[in-house]
Structure 1
Amino acid sequence: MNLVEQGDGFAAFWQERHLCTLATARPGGPPHVVPVGATLDLETATARVITSGSSYKARLIGEAGALVALCQVDGRRWSTLEGRAVVRAEPERVADAERRYAARYKPPRPNLSRVVLEIEVTRVLGNV
């Protein structure tokens, strides 16, 4: 998916400082929705969320990966990214995600068990 084609307003919205929500599915199907900070790489259509490897969201995604929805809203503007998330623990991937997070929000606190949830965006919804 080419997210660059979504336009300048979309790109700016995903660079502004907004908290997001990440929705995953619990066993049996009910949604698990939590607030997160997220970054989006338009060129690779990859969204990233840093978290502890022991977090419930990371455990729900697991080694096999899972379908997720990542959403942010600001008044009438909103955007939801859908796709498959995978948990990555490789130090270079985590460091890259931390740099991206720091650029959008602030430097993350130290966390030796940090992983990155990488979401391959396959669908975009919204009004931006």
Structure 2
Amino acid sequence: MSLSPQPPAATAVPAAVEAFLNDPQHVAAFTTLRPDGTLHVAPVRFTWDAAARLARVMTVLTSRKARNLLAAPGSRVALCQVDGFTWVTLEGTAAVVKDPARIAHGARLYAKRYWSAPPAPPGRVVIEIAVDRVLHLNT
């Protein structure tokens, strides 16, 4: 088990953790803070870019998770993928991105991981998480 923070310049995430994070059968619990300080947890599909240490979540601007992040730019978040007693948590700061090129890139990565395009409702955005801590067990 690794419970120590990994700064952005740290060595690569172990291969077993990478494989677990890229398994299309998994979803994750995404945790943000509401403006009143209470936790909001939602199941999400996500992509992981190991080279950039960036996780991406496709959503819409009006979602609770996006609104939480817009209310407190640069907030810390957690994305935890679990399969039985195997888990990986990615922690870092998040931003709601409205740039069409970055949204399209996020959608391409999503389609590659999950073998189908994400929904494309009006107001689609991508949440980008700059991961600075990776915790894992039994990977």
TM-score higher than 0.5? yes
Match of 2:52 in 1: 44
Question: Which residue in the other structure is 2:122 paired with?
Answer: 112
Deviations 1:58-94 (A, max 9, x none): 0100072311000100112100011000000100000
User: Quick one: which amino acid aligns to residue 50 of structure 1?
Assistant: M
Check the 8 A contact 1:3/1:42 in 2, yes or no. no
Count of aligned positions: 128
How far apart, in 2, do the equivalents of 1:3 and 1:36 lie? 26
Q: CA RMSD in A?
A: 1.4
How far did residue 14 of structure 1 move? 1.0
Quick one: distance in 2 between partners of 1:27 and 1:112?
Answer: 24
- State whether residues 2 and 43 of structure 1, in contact with CA within 8 Å, keep that contact through their aligned partners in structure 2: no
Deviation at 1:4, TM superposition (A): 6.0
Taking only the aligned residue pairs, the percentage that are identical comes to 43
Amino acid at match of 2:50: L
More strand by share: 1
Given the alignment of the two structures, is residue 32 of structure 1 paired with residue 40 of structure 2, yes or no? yes
TM-score by length of 1: 0.93
* Aligned residue number for residue 122 of structure 1: 132
Residues of 1 paired with 2:46 and 2:37: CA distance?
24
For residues 83 and 27 of structure 1, what CA distance do their matches in structure 2 show?
A: 18
**1:12 corresponding residue in structure 2:** 19
Alignment equivalent of 1:94, drawn from 72, 78, 103: 103
* 1:66 maps onto 2:78 in alignment: no
Q: Which has the higher contact order (CA 8 A, sep 6+)?
A: 2
Q: Which residue type is aligned with residue 21 of structure 1? A: A
TM-score computed with the length of structure 2 as normaliser: 0.86
5+ residue gaps, structure 2, are 1-7
Farther-moved stretch of structure 1 (7-16 vs 60-69): 60-69
- What is the CA–CA distance in structure 1 between the aligned matches of 2:113 and 2:10, rounded to whole Å? 18
